[in-house]
Structure 1
Amino acid sequence: MKVLLMVLMVMRDLVKTDLINSTVFRKVVPLMPSHISQCLLEKRSINLNPIRTCGVLCSLKTNCLLFCLKGGTCSLYSAQVSSKWPGFSLAPNERIESYDECYSNWFVNSITPSLAAENISSSSSFLTSARPENIINGFHCRSYYYFCFSTSGGDSDRFWRADLGKPKRVSSIIISTRASYEQFSKVEITLGNSNDYDNIRFDYYEGPSPVGTDISFTPTNPVTGRYLQVQSFKNNYLSMCDIVILG
Protein backbone atom coordinates (compact mmCIF):
# COMPACT_ATOMS: atom_id res chain seq x y z
CA MET A 1 0.00 0.00 0.00
CA LYS A 2 2.85 2.37 0.86
CA VAL A 3 4.57 1.74 -2.50
CA LEU A 4 1.28 2.25 -4.35
CA LEU A 5 0.77 5.55 -2.55
CA MET A 6 4.28 6.65 -3.56
CA VAL A 7 3.56 5.78 -7.19
CA LEU A 8 0.32 7.76 -7.14
CA MET A 9 2.06 10.76 -5.57
CA VAL A 10 4.84 10.68 -8.18
CA MET A 11 2.31 10.32 -10.99
CA ARG A 12 0.46 13.36 -9.65
CA ASP A 13 3.67 15.37 -9.89
CA LEU A 14 4.31 14.08 -13.41
CA VAL A 15 1.18 15.85 -14.62
CA LYS A 16 3.30 19.00 -14.53
CA THR A 17 6.68 17.52 -15.53
CA ASP A 18 7.05 15.05 -18.38
CA LEU A 19 9.26 12.24 -17.09
CA ILE A 20 9.94 10.74 -20.51
CA ASN A 21 11.18 13.99 -22.06
CA SER A 22 13.37 14.87 -19.09
CA THR A 23 17.08 14.16 -18.93
CA VAL A 24 16.44 11.10 -16.76
CA PHE A 25 15.13 8.84 -19.54
CA ARG A 26 15.99 8.82 -23.23
CA LYS A 27 14.02 7.04 -25.90
CA VAL A 28 16.03 4.30 -27.62
CA VAL A 29 15.47 2.00 -30.59
CA PRO A 30 13.23 -0.81 -29.21
CA LEU A 31 15.04 -3.75 -30.85
CA MET A 32 17.04 -5.75 -28.31
CA PRO A 33 18.92 -9.06 -28.32
CA SER A 34 17.01 -11.84 -26.58
CA HIS A 35 19.87 -11.93 -24.08
CA ILE A 36 18.20 -8.94 -22.43
CA SER A 37 16.07 -11.48 -20.55
CA GLN A 38 19.07 -12.05 -18.26
CA CYS A 39 18.64 -8.48 -17.03
CA LEU A 40 14.88 -8.62 -16.50
CA LEU A 41 13.84 -7.24 -13.11
CA GLU A 42 10.06 -7.31 -13.35
CA LYS A 43 7.09 -7.44 -15.72
CA ARG A 44 3.71 -5.84 -15.10
CA SER A 45 0.47 -5.38 -16.99
CA ILE A 46 -0.47 -1.70 -17.32
CA ASN A 47 -3.61 -0.19 -18.79
CA LEU A 48 -3.58 3.46 -17.69
CA ASN A 49 -0.94 5.89 -19.04
CA PRO A 50 1.47 3.01 -19.82
CA ILE A 51 4.57 5.04 -20.72
CA ARG A 52 4.35 7.33 -17.74
CA THR A 53 3.39 4.57 -15.30
CA CYS A 54 6.14 2.24 -16.51
CA GLY A 55 8.65 5.09 -16.18
CA VAL A 56 7.59 5.72 -12.60
CA LEU A 57 7.91 2.03 -11.77
CA CYS A 58 11.43 1.98 -13.23
CA SER A 59 12.35 5.07 -11.21
CA LEU A 60 11.24 3.33 -8.02
CA LYS A 61 12.84 -0.03 -8.86
CA THR A 62 16.38 -0.62 -7.61
CA ASN A 63 18.88 -1.09 -10.48
CA CYS A 64 16.30 -0.32 -13.17
CA LEU A 65 18.09 1.31 -16.12
CA LEU A 66 15.68 0.51 -18.95
CA PHE A 67 11.96 0.05 -19.39
CA CYS A 68 10.17 -1.27 -22.46
CA LEU A 69 6.52 -1.49 -23.44
CA LYS A 70 4.81 -4.06 -25.62
CA GLY A 71 1.05 -4.03 -25.76
CA GLY A 72 -0.04 -3.57 -22.17
CA THR A 73 3.09 -5.11 -20.65
CA CYS A 74 5.77 -3.04 -18.92
CA SER A 75 9.19 -4.72 -18.65
CA LEU A 76 11.87 -3.35 -16.32
CA TYR A 77 15.53 -4.16 -16.97
CA SER A 78 18.93 -3.59 -15.40
CA ALA A 79 20.46 -3.51 -18.91
CA GLN A 80 22.21 -0.28 -19.83
CA VAL A 81 21.38 0.81 -23.37
CA SER A 82 22.97 3.94 -24.78
CA SER A 83 20.95 6.72 -26.36
CA LYS A 84 22.89 6.09 -29.60
CA TRP A 85 21.81 2.43 -29.69
CA PRO A 86 21.12 1.65 -33.39
CA GLY A 87 18.91 -1.34 -32.69
CA PHE A 88 19.87 -4.98 -32.71
CA SER A 89 20.77 -6.95 -35.82
CA LEU A 90 21.26 -10.68 -35.51
CA ALA A 91 24.42 -12.04 -33.92
CA PRO A 92 25.33 -15.75 -33.72
CA ASN A 93 22.74 -17.81 -31.83
CA GLU A 94 20.66 -14.74 -31.02
CA ARG A 95 17.18 -13.53 -31.88
CA ILE A 96 15.58 -10.10 -31.82
CA GLU A 97 13.31 -9.04 -28.97
CA SER A 98 11.15 -6.17 -30.26
CA TYR A 99 9.02 -3.73 -28.27
CA ASP A 100 6.68 -0.85 -29.01
CA GLU A 101 8.87 1.62 -27.10
CA CYS A 102 11.94 1.57 -24.86
CA TYR A 103 13.50 4.25 -22.63
CA SER A 104 16.97 4.24 -21.10
CA ASN A 105 17.95 5.78 -17.78
CA TRP A 106 20.94 8.16 -17.87
CA PHE A 107 22.79 10.49 -15.53
CA VAL A 108 21.35 14.00 -15.61
CA ASN A 109 24.64 15.75 -16.42
CA SER A 110 26.16 13.09 -18.66
CA ILE A 111 28.08 14.27 -21.73
CA THR A 112 28.07 10.77 -23.22
CA PRO A 113 24.69 10.94 -25.04
CA SER A 114 25.98 13.89 -27.10
CA LEU A 115 28.78 11.77 -28.54
CA ALA A 116 28.44 10.02 -31.88
CA ALA A 117 30.44 7.19 -33.43
CA GLU A 118 32.62 9.70 -35.30
CA ASN A 119 33.73 11.11 -31.92
CA ILE A 120 35.55 7.86 -31.24
CA SER A 121 38.90 8.69 -32.74
CA SER A 122 40.60 5.35 -32.43
CA SER A 123 41.68 2.46 -30.29
CA SER A 124 44.95 0.58 -30.28
CA SER A 125 43.10 -2.44 -31.71
CA PHE A 126 39.72 -4.10 -31.40
CA LEU A 127 37.99 -7.42 -31.85
CA THR A 128 35.55 -7.65 -34.77
CA SER A 129 32.47 -7.82 -32.55
CA ALA A 130 33.86 -5.50 -29.85
CA ARG A 131 34.39 -2.24 -31.69
CA PRO A 132 35.48 0.98 -29.90
CA GLU A 133 32.18 2.78 -30.59
CA ASN A 134 30.25 0.06 -28.75
CA ILE A 135 30.71 1.73 -25.39
CA ILE A 136 28.76 4.81 -26.49
CA ASN A 137 26.18 3.26 -28.82
CA GLY A 138 25.99 -0.24 -27.47
CA PHE A 139 24.16 -2.52 -25.11
CA HIS A 140 25.42 -3.84 -21.78
CA CYS A 141 23.74 -6.70 -19.95
CA ARG A 142 25.88 -8.77 -17.60
CA SER A 143 28.31 -11.07 -19.41
CA TYR A 144 27.02 -10.46 -22.92
CA TYR A 145 30.01 -9.83 -25.17
CA TYR A 146 28.92 -8.46 -28.52
CA PHE A 147 28.26 -4.88 -27.47
CA CYS A 148 31.31 -4.18 -25.36
CA PHE A 149 34.72 -2.94 -26.51
CA SER A 150 37.92 -4.94 -26.26
CA THR A 151 41.41 -4.67 -27.67
CA SER A 152 42.50 -7.70 -29.63
CA GLY A 153 45.34 -8.66 -27.28
CA GLY A 154 49.08 -8.40 -27.58
CA ASP A 155 49.07 -4.60 -27.94
CA SER A 156 52.07 -2.86 -26.44
CA ASP A 157 49.93 0.24 -25.91
CA ARG A 158 46.28 -0.51 -25.09
CA PHE A 159 43.99 2.52 -25.38
CA TRP A 160 40.54 3.86 -26.27
CA ARG A 161 40.15 7.48 -27.40
CA ALA A 162 37.33 9.96 -27.88
CA ASP A 163 37.16 13.48 -29.28
CA LEU A 164 34.51 15.38 -27.28
CA GLY A 165 34.13 17.87 -30.14
CA LYS A 166 35.21 20.88 -28.09
CA PRO A 167 36.73 21.49 -24.65
CA LYS A 168 34.28 20.32 -21.99
CA ARG A 169 34.35 20.41 -18.22
CA VAL A 170 34.43 16.87 -16.83
CA SER A 171 34.04 16.15 -13.12
CA SER A 172 33.88 12.36 -13.14
CA ILE A 173 33.96 9.37 -15.49
CA ILE A 174 32.32 6.01 -14.77
CA ILE A 175 33.35 2.92 -16.72
CA SER A 176 31.44 -0.38 -16.66
CA THR A 177 33.64 -3.46 -16.92
CA ARG A 178 32.85 -6.77 -18.57
CA ALA A 179 31.20 -9.35 -16.35
CA SER A 180 33.03 -12.33 -17.80
CA TYR A 181 36.74 -11.41 -17.85
CA GLU A 182 39.22 -9.60 -15.61
CA GLN A 183 40.51 -7.11 -18.17
CA PHE A 184 40.58 -3.77 -16.42
CA SER A 185 43.50 -2.73 -14.20
CA LYS A 186 46.37 -0.23 -14.17
CA VAL A 187 44.15 2.14 -16.14
CA GLU A 188 44.93 5.83 -16.62
CA ILE A 189 42.53 8.41 -18.03
CA THR A 190 43.93 11.60 -19.53
CA LEU A 191 42.03 14.66 -20.75
CA GLY A 192 43.22 17.86 -22.39
CA ASN A 193 43.38 19.87 -25.58
CA SER A 194 46.36 18.23 -27.28
CA ASN A 195 45.11 16.24 -30.27
CA ASP A 196 47.99 13.78 -29.97
CA TYR A 197 46.33 12.72 -26.67
CA ASP A 198 49.47 13.54 -24.68
CA ASN A 199 47.48 15.26 -21.94
CA ILE A 200 47.42 15.54 -18.17
CA ARG A 201 46.23 12.70 -16.00
CA PHE A 202 42.54 12.86 -15.12
CA ASP A 203 42.67 9.92 -12.72
CA TYR A 204 44.19 6.46 -12.33
CA TYR A 205 42.88 3.05 -11.26
CA GLU A 206 45.44 0.50 -10.07
CA GLY A 207 43.18 -2.49 -9.51
CA PRO A 208 42.18 -5.16 -8.75
CA SER A 209 40.61 -6.11 -12.08
CA PRO A 210 36.87 -6.31 -11.31
CA VAL A 211 34.17 -8.01 -13.35
CA GLY A 212 30.74 -6.52 -13.98
CA THR A 213 31.48 -3.43 -11.91
CA ASP A 214 31.30 0.34 -12.32
CA ILE A 215 34.66 2.04 -11.73
CA SER A 216 34.63 5.77 -10.94
CA PHE A 217 37.44 8.11 -11.98
CA THR A 218 37.26 11.43 -10.13
CA PRO A 219 40.06 14.02 -10.08
CA THR A 220 40.61 16.39 -7.17
CA ASN A 221 39.16 19.18 -9.32
CA PRO A 222 37.14 19.02 -12.56
CA VAL A 223 39.23 19.04 -15.74
CA THR A 224 38.39 20.82 -18.99
CA GLY A 225 39.51 19.27 -22.24
CA ARG A 226 38.52 17.91 -25.63
CA TYR A 227 40.65 14.79 -26.14
CA LEU A 228 39.96 11.87 -23.81
CA GLN A 229 42.07 8.73 -23.55
CA VAL A 230 41.61 5.56 -21.49
CA GLN A 231 44.83 3.55 -21.40
CA SER A 232 45.85 0.31 -19.70
CA PHE A 233 49.46 -0.30 -18.66
CA LYS A 234 48.90 -3.96 -17.88
CA ASN A 235 50.09 -6.59 -20.34
CA ASN A 236 46.58 -7.77 -21.05
CA TYR A 237 43.41 -6.82 -22.90
CA LEU A 238 41.58 -3.57 -22.24
CA SER A 239 37.82 -4.20 -22.14
CA MET A 240 34.99 -1.80 -21.35
CA CYS A 241 31.23 -2.05 -21.79
CA ASP A 242 30.02 1.47 -21.09
CA ILE A 243 31.34 4.92 -20.26
CA VAL A 244 29.49 7.77 -18.57
CA ILE A 245 31.20 11.17 -18.78
CA LEU A 246 29.84 13.59 -16.20
CA GLY A 247 30.08 17.34 -16.69
Structure 2
Amino acid sequence: MSSVSNSNSSESHGTNGYFCYGYDSCSITGPLNTPWWKADLQNSYFVSTLIVKPRDDGYDFSNIEIRFGNSPTISQNPILATYLGSTPPAGTVLTFKAPHPMEGRYLSIQTFTFPFAVGMCEVQIIEA
Protein backbone atom coordinates (compact mmCIF):
# COMPACT_ATOMS: atom_id res chain seq x y z
CA MET A 1 0.00 0.00 0.00
CA SER A 2 1.09 3.56 -0.53
CA SER A 3 0.51 4.13 3.21
CA VAL A 4 -1.50 2.67 6.08
CA SER A 5 -4.27 4.74 7.65
CA ASN A 6 -3.86 3.23 11.14
CA SER A 7 -2.71 0.07 12.88
CA ASN A 8 -6.09 -1.63 12.25
CA SER A 9 -6.04 -1.09 8.48
CA SER A 10 -3.14 -3.14 7.14
CA GLU A 11 -2.86 -4.22 3.52
CA SER A 12 -3.48 -7.86 4.50
CA HIS A 13 -7.04 -7.03 5.58
CA GLY A 14 -7.91 -6.70 1.90
CA THR A 15 -7.16 -10.35 1.20
CA ASN A 16 -7.75 -12.18 4.47
CA GLY A 17 -10.88 -14.02 3.25
CA TYR A 18 -13.15 -12.16 5.66
CA PHE A 19 -15.98 -10.29 3.91
CA CYS A 20 -16.34 -7.93 6.84
CA TYR A 21 -18.31 -4.75 7.21
CA GLY A 22 -16.38 -3.10 10.04
CA TYR A 23 -13.87 -0.33 9.62
CA ASP A 24 -11.32 -2.09 11.84
CA SER A 25 -11.09 -5.09 9.50
CA CYS A 26 -10.59 -3.20 6.24
CA SER A 27 -7.49 -2.27 4.30
CA ILE A 28 -7.25 1.53 4.17
CA THR A 29 -4.49 3.79 2.87
CA GLY A 30 -3.82 7.22 4.30
CA PRO A 31 -5.10 10.24 2.33
CA LEU A 32 -2.37 10.94 -0.22
CA ASN A 33 -1.99 12.07 -3.78
CA THR A 34 -2.92 8.97 -5.88
CA PRO A 35 -3.01 6.39 -3.05
CA TRP A 36 -2.84 2.74 -4.08
CA TRP A 37 -3.18 -0.82 -2.83
CA LYS A 38 -1.34 -3.67 -4.59
CA ALA A 39 -1.33 -7.47 -4.33
CA ASP A 40 1.56 -9.65 -5.48
CA LEU A 41 0.16 -13.07 -6.41
CA GLN A 42 3.72 -14.52 -6.44
CA ASN A 43 3.06 -16.21 -9.81
CA SER A 44 1.41 -15.23 -13.06
CA TYR A 45 -2.27 -16.19 -13.48
CA PHE A 46 -5.03 -15.60 -15.99
CA VAL A 47 -7.75 -13.56 -14.29
CA SER A 48 -11.27 -12.88 -15.53
CA THR A 49 -13.09 -11.34 -12.56
CA LEU A 50 -12.39 -9.24 -9.50
CA ILE A 51 -14.83 -8.98 -6.59
CA VAL A 52 -14.41 -6.06 -4.19
CA LYS A 53 -16.24 -5.34 -0.94
CA PRO A 54 -15.86 -1.59 -0.22
CA ARG A 55 -16.17 -0.18 3.27
CA ASP A 56 -19.72 0.35 4.57
CA ASP A 57 -19.18 3.79 6.03
CA GLY A 58 -19.30 5.65 2.71
CA TYR A 59 -15.59 6.47 2.46
CA ASP A 60 -12.50 5.63 0.47
CA PHE A 61 -13.68 3.90 -2.71
CA SER A 62 -14.33 6.41 -5.46
CA ASN A 63 -12.92 7.04 -8.93
CA ILE A 64 -10.93 3.81 -8.87
CA GLU A 65 -8.60 2.40 -11.52
CA ILE A 66 -7.82 -1.32 -11.35
CA ARG A 67 -4.76 -2.63 -13.16
CA PHE A 68 -3.47 -6.17 -13.60
CA GLY A 69 -0.26 -7.38 -15.21
CA ASN A 70 3.27 -8.66 -14.75
CA SER A 71 5.03 -5.40 -13.91
CA PRO A 72 5.59 -4.39 -10.27
CA THR A 73 5.22 -0.80 -11.54
CA ILE A 74 1.49 -0.03 -11.42
CA SER A 75 1.36 2.30 -14.44
CA GLN A 76 2.95 -0.33 -16.71
CA ASN A 77 0.08 -2.79 -16.31
CA PRO A 78 -3.09 -2.69 -18.42
CA ILE A 79 -6.36 -1.49 -16.95
CA LEU A 80 -8.67 -4.34 -15.93
CA ALA A 81 -11.56 -2.06 -14.95
CA THR A 82 -12.53 1.32 -13.55
CA TYR A 83 -15.12 2.47 -11.05
CA LEU A 84 -16.17 6.08 -11.52
CA GLY A 85 -18.23 7.86 -8.94
CA SER A 86 -18.54 7.90 -5.18
CA THR A 87 -18.28 5.08 -2.67
CA PRO A 88 -21.26 2.73 -3.16
CA PRO A 89 -23.99 2.27 -0.51
CA ALA A 90 -23.42 0.05 2.53
CA GLY A 91 -23.59 -3.66 1.79
CA THR A 92 -22.55 -3.30 -1.84
CA VAL A 93 -20.24 -5.90 -3.35
CA LEU A 94 -18.74 -4.87 -6.69
CA THR A 95 -17.90 -7.31 -9.49
CA PHE A 96 -15.46 -6.24 -12.20
CA LYS A 97 -15.14 -8.35 -15.35
CA ALA A 98 -11.98 -8.11 -17.41
CA PRO A 99 -12.62 -7.42 -21.13
CA HIS A 100 -10.85 -10.75 -21.74
CA PRO A 101 -8.85 -13.10 -19.50
CA MET A 102 -5.79 -11.12 -18.47
CA GLU A 103 -2.42 -12.57 -17.46
CA GLY A 104 -0.51 -11.11 -14.57
CA ARG A 105 1.06 -11.29 -11.16
CA TYR A 106 0.27 -7.82 -9.75
CA LEU A 107 -3.18 -6.40 -9.04
CA SER A 108 -3.43 -2.73 -8.12
CA ILE A 109 -6.32 -0.53 -7.02
CA GLN A 110 -5.68 3.21 -7.15
CA THR A 111 -7.62 6.46 -6.95
CA PHE A 112 -6.75 9.79 -8.49
CA THR A 113 -9.15 11.75 -6.29
CA PHE A 114 -7.34 14.03 -3.81
CA PRO A 115 -7.24 14.07 -0.86
CA PHE A 116 -8.64 10.61 -0.64
CA ALA A 117 -7.71 7.08 0.31
CA VAL A 118 -8.29 3.58 -1.01
CA GLY A 119 -10.24 1.40 1.38
CA MET A 120 -11.84 -1.97 0.96
CA CYS A 121 -12.75 -4.84 3.22
CA GLU A 122 -12.07 -7.72 0.84
CA VAL A 123 -10.73 -8.39 -2.64
CA GLN A 124 -11.27 -11.71 -4.41
CA ILE A 125 -9.37 -12.48 -7.59
CA ILE A 126 -11.11 -15.06 -9.79
CA GLU A 127 -8.88 -17.10 -12.07
CA ALA A 128 -10.06 -17.51 -15.68
Q: TM-score, normalised by structure 1?
A: 0.47
- Runs of 4 or more off by more than 2 Å in structure 1? 138-142
- Corresponding position of 1:167: 44
Alignment of 1:137-148 (within 5 A): 137=16, 139-142=18-21, 144-148=22-26
> What residue in structure 1 maps to residue 9 of structure 2?
130
Q: 1:177 is matched with which residue: 37, 50, 54?
A: 54
Q: Tell me, which stretches of 5 or more residues in structure 2 are unaligned?
A: none
Query: Deviations for 1:57-92, whole angstroms, at most 9, x for unmatched residues?
Result: xxxxxxxxxxxxxxxxxxxxxxxxxxxxxxxxxxxx
Higher helix share: 1
Per the TM alignment, residue 172 of structure 1 is displaced from its structure 2 partner at its CA by 0.6
* Aligned residue number for residue 205 of structure 1: 83
* Alpha-carbon distance in structure 1 between the residues aligned to 2:55 and 2:98: 24
**1:189 corresponds to 2:61:** no
Q: Which residue of 2 aligns with 1:239?
A: 119
Q: Which has the higher contact order (CA 8 A, sep 6+)?
A: 2
Structure 1 residue 183: Cα displacement: 1.8
Residues 214-239 of structure 1, C-alpha deviations (whole Å, 9 max, x = no match): 11111221101111111111121211
SS at match of 2:25: coil
Asked whether the 8 Å contact 1:138–1:147 carries over to 2, the reply is no
Distance 2:24 2:30 in 1: 14
Q: Is the 8 A contact 1:172 1:246 kept in 2?
A: yes
Q: How many residue pairs were aligned?
A: 123
Given residue 196 of structure 1, which amino acid in structure 2 is its aligned partner? Answer: T
Percent identity between matched residues is: 33
For residues 176 and 226 of structure 1, the distance between their equivalents in structure 2, rounded to whole angstroms, comes to 21
Alignment partners' CA distance in 2, 1:244 and 1:232: 19
Matched, 1:227 2:94: no
Once residues 166 and 138 of structure 1 are traced to their aligned partners in structure 2, the CA distance between those partners, rounded to angstroms, is 19
Q: Are the equivalent residues in 1 in contact too, given 2:68–2:80 (CA < 8 A)?
A: yes
Indicate the structure with greater strand content: 2
